[in-house]
């Protein structure tokens, strides 16, 4: 009887060791799964952070152009409204302005400044260097900013 009782105790101890080993393997598997999920969340978070940075950079680069486009559009609309009231037509063409000791060529279309080109310090130098066809009796306007 002692032999069978000892044998049963040994079997129970072996079952407990196997159960403990199985619990340990299950815990290791859970830990491994958690590590993989954490790794995936870091990858996703990093990707979203990079996308956010790219969106911020794009927003930083492009709105300036769109804002200036809308300002120009608003300026055209106000110029058209004021022209309807006053009866004058908006400026179309080229204007030469002296600003900061340089001659600037300004190109207007429908009253909106489309382009400003820096020429030389004098009319004759501008004609020679840039091959501009400035009228001979052109009087340069003083810019409002320099006054």
Q: What is the pTM of this model?
A: 0.36
Give the chain's mean pLDDT: 77
pLDDT grade for 147, boundaries at 50, 70 and 90: very low
- Tens digit of pLDDT for each residue in 29-57? 999 999 999 999 999 999 999 999 999 99
How does DSSP assign the chain, residue by residue? Answer: -HHHHHHHHHHHHHHHHHHHHHHHHHHHHHHHHHHHHHHHHHHHHHHHHHHHHHHHHHHHHSHHHHHHHHHHHHHHHHHHHHHHHH-PPPP-EEEEEEETTEEEEEEEETTEEEEEEE--SSHHHHHHHH-----TT--PEEPTTT-
């Amino acid at each position: 009887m002692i032999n069978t009782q000892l044998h049963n105790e040994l079997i129970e101890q072996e079952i407990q060791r196997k159960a403990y080993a199985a619990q340990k393997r299950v815990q290791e598997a859970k830990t491994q799964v958690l590590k993989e999920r954490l790794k995936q969340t870091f990858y996703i978070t990093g990707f979203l952070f990079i996308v956010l940075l790219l969106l911020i950079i794009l927003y930083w680069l492009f709105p300036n152009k769109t804002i200036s486009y809308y300002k120009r559009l608003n300026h055209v609309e106000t110029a058209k409204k004021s022209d309807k009231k006053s009866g004058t037509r908006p400026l179309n063409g080229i204007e030469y302005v002296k600003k900061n000791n340089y001659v600037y060529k300004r190109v207007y279309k429908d009253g909106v400044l489309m382009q400003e080109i820096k020429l030389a310090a004098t009319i004759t130098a501008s004609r020679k260097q840039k091959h501009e066809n400035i009228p001979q009796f052109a009087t340069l306007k003083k810019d409002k900013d320099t006054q």
